């Protein structure tokens, strides 16, 4: 089995590595202007926003998953910035490219790609998470506006976002999957109240969002009335692909090894303890297996096949891996695992950052469809088992 990418792609790797070395240094990471300038150069060179047309601020490159993979690997290892991180670039832009009207693409994609606006994902509601198609937030067409009433929950970063893409019930008499529309709306309006939710770490990264006669124009709908469910599938596909990537966890594992080298067990470096070695070997085994599984996903995409449940499986495995890494690190750091990290200017965060990592790993197992739901999808669509009767279909 030849797992190298081949001469053409290794030559491309050299080119990317040279580009990053010439235009990026790790000190730039704290300088927003340098980050923006680097992203612009990397886009001009064809490395970022590859599937976005140039007229919308992308680099419009031919689809080539191996080139995309090489770029990801090289940028990640140099800690150089990739595309702006957020629901806008990750989920809404690909959805608009796939299903949006030309005017929506022109108006919304360029400022999103430049990082001038970001988008909140308005899917989950109290009582509608795994069973997402049961959303109850209503949208009524009055004149040339949608009037929206109801509530969303767990809305990540809504307090920092200008807009939302939301699943809203606009056809109350239709069967549940056919009664939903995919609406865009401005969060900065009197009909919208955003209330932060306080998390166990003391942070507030997600919110409840209330709509009381919130308004959005008639044509801020993606796809047709009642077809929001199909449009939302495009968004979720991009969310799950993003979560399943291996590089981030390879880097986390390297950090875990450093913790095992510096922490002590019975007066010796923890990495020399046979039980710790056993746990590390187990994690590395899963990590390497996952890496090759992402190659499989790549090969299927290269061959023009839909990776389908392989993507789902990768999301599930990587989620478990993140948890295993954080849980072992937390055990090794001892007392520091009782502290919450303090993110303040001038304060250097130490090992206690693993505490956030640990809680975050639990959250990732829920976000974008819980691990149980991923197992259902693998069972039904991958293994052909009978359908789940309880209604979870997010």
Ligand X SMILES: Cc1cc2nc3c(=O)[nH]c(=O)nc-3n(C[C@H](O)[C@H](O)[C@H](O)COP(=O)(O)OP(=O)(O)OC[C@H]3O[C@@H](n4cnc5c(N)ncnc54)[C@H](O)[C@@H]3O)c2cc1C
**Which residue's CB is nearer to ligand X, number 52 or number 133?**
133
- 86 lines the binding site for ligand X (CB under 6 A): no
Per the DSSP assignment, residues forming a β-bridge with 144 are none
Q: How many CA atoms lie within 13 A of 49 on its CB side?
A: 29
The stretch near ligand X (CB under 6 A) out of 62-70, 241-249, 332-340, 364-372 is 364-372
How many chain residues touch ligand X (CB under 6 A)?
A: 22
Residue nearest ligand X by beta-carbon distance: 129
Residue 126 Cβ, how far from ligand X at the closest point, in Å?
Answer: 8
Tokens 């469809």 belong to residue: 369
The answer to whether residues 301 and 311 touch, using CB atoms and an 8 Å cutoff, is: no
Binds ligand X (CB under 6 A): choice among 1, 268, 304, 390: 390
Distance in Å from the first CA to the final CA of the chain: 37
Residue 379 Cβ, how far from ligand X at the closest point, in Å?
Answer: 10
Q: List the structure tokens of 40.
A: 């612009």
- 311 lines the binding site for ligand X (CB under 6 A): no
- 211 lines the binding site for ligand X (CB under 6 A): no
Strands (E), the chain: 119-122, 138-142, 145-156, 163-169, 180-186, 192-197, 206-217, 221-222, 264-265, 268-269
Residue 171 Cβ, how far from ligand X at the closest point, in Å?
Answer: 20
**Which residue's CB is nearer to ligand X, number 60 or number 208?**
208
Q: List the structure tokens of 234.
A: 């495009």
Residue 8 Cβ, how far from ligand X at the closest point, in Å?
Answer: 39
Burial class of 210 by CB neighbour count within 10 A (0 to 12, 13 to 18, 19+): middle
Q: What backbone torsions phi and psi does residue 120 show, to the nearest 5 degrees?
A: -95, 150
Binds ligand X (CB under 6 A): choice among 95, 112, 121, 216: 121
- 370 lines the binding site for ligand X (CB under 6 A): yes
- 206 lines the binding site for ligand X (CB under 6 A): yes
The stretch near ligand X (CB under 6 A) out of 116-124, 268-276, 292-300, 318-326 is 116-124
SS3 148: strand
The stretch near ligand X (CB under 6 A) out of 8-16, 44-52, 119-127, 333-341 is 119-127
Residue 353 Cβ, how far from ligand X at the closest point, in Å?
Answer: 17
Binds ligand X (CB under 6 A): choice among 372, 381, 385, 387: 372
What whole-number distance in Å separates Cα of residue 217 and Cα of residue 231? 19
What whole-number distance in Å separates Cα of residue 215 and Cα of residue 139? 9
Residue 37, CA distances (Å) to 34, 121, 315 in order = 5, 28, 32
**Which residue's CB is nearer to ligand X, number 204 or number 262?**
204
Known catalytic residue: 239? yes
**Which residue's CB is nearer to ligand X, number 99 or number 167?**
167
What whole-number distance in Å separates Cα of residue 220 and Cα of residue 283? 46
Binds ligand X (CB under 6 A): choice among 19, 123, 211, 354: 123
By CB under 6 A, the residues from 9 to 48 that bind ligand X are none
- 124 lines the binding site for ligand X (CB under 6 A): yes
- 356 lines the binding site for ligand X (CB under 6 A): no
What whole-number distance in Å separates Cα of residue 243 and Cα of residue 241? 6
Q: What share of the chain is helix, strand, coil (3-state, %, to 5)?
A: 50, 15, 35
Residue 206 Cβ, how far from ligand X at the closest point, in Å?
Answer: 6
- 369 lines the binding site for ligand X (CB under 6 A): yes
What whole-number distance in Å separates Cα of residue 311 and Cα of residue 243? 10
Q: How many CB atoms lie within 10 A of CB 215?
A: 17
By CB under 6 A, the residues from 142 to 201 that bind ligand X are 154-156
Query: Which residue in 239, 247, 284, 380 is the catalytic one?
Result: 239
Report the 3 state secondary structure along 41-84: HHHHCCCCCCCCCHHHCCCCCCCCHHHHHHHHHHHHHCCCCCCC
The stretch near ligand X (CB under 6 A) out of 142-150, 311-319, 350-358, 385-393 is 385-393
**Which residue's CB is nearer to ligand X, number 277 or number 372?**
372
Residues known to be catalytic: 239
Q: Which residues of the shown chain bind ligand X in the complex (CB under 6 A)?
A: 121-124, 129-130, 154-156, 206, 363, 366-367, 369-370, 372-373, 376, 388, 390, 392, 394
């Amino acid at each position: 089995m030849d797992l190298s990418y081949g001469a053409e792609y290794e030559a491309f790797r050299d080119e990317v590595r040279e580009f990053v070395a010439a235009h990026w240094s790790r000190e730039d990471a704290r300088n927003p202007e340098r980050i923006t300038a680097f992203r612009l150069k990397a886009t001009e060179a064809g490395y970022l926003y590859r599937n976005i047309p140039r007229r919308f601020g992308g680099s419009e490159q031919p689809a080539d998953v191996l080139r995309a993979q090489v770029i990801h690997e090289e940028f990640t290892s140099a800690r150089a910035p990739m595309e702006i991180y957020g629901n806008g670039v990750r989920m809404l832009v690909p959805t608009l490219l796939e299903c949006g009207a030309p005017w929506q693409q022109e108006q919304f994609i360029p400022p999103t790609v430049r990082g001038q606006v970001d988008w909140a994902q308005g899917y989950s509601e109290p009582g509608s998470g795994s069973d997402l198609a049961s959303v109850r937030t209503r949208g009524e067409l009055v004149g040339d506006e949608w009037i929206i009433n109801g509530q969303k929950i767990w809305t990540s970063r809504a307090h920092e976002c200008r807009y939302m893409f939301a699943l809203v019930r606009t056809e109350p008499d239709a069967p549940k999957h056919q009664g939903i529309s995919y609406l865009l709306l401005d969060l900065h309006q009197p009909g919208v109240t955003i209330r932060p939710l306080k998390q166990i770490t003391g942070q507030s990264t997600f919110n409840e969002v209330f709509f009381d006669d919130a308004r959005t124009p008639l044509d801020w709908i993606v796809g047709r009335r009642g077809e929001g469910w199909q449009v939302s599938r495009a968004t979720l596909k991009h969310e799950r692909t993003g979560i399943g990537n291996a590089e981030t966890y390879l880097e986390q594992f390297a950090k875990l090894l450093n913790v095992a080298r510096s922490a002590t067990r019975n007066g010796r470096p923890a990495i020399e303890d046979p039980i710790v070695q056993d746990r590390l070997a187990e994690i590395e085994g899963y990590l390497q297996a996952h890496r090759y599984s992402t190659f499989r996903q790549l090969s299927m995409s290269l061959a023009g096949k839909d990776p389908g449940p392989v993507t789902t499986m990768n999301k599930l495995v990587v989620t478990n891996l993140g948890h295993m890494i954080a849980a072992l690190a937390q055990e090794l750091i001892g007392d520091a695992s009782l502290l919450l990290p303090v993110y303040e200017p001038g304060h250097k965060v130490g090992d206690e950052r693993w505490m956030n990592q640990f809680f975050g790993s639990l959250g990732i197992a829920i976000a974008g469809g819980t691990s149980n739901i991923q197992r259902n999808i693998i069972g039904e669509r991958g293994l052909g088992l009978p359908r789940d009767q309880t209604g979870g279909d997010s």
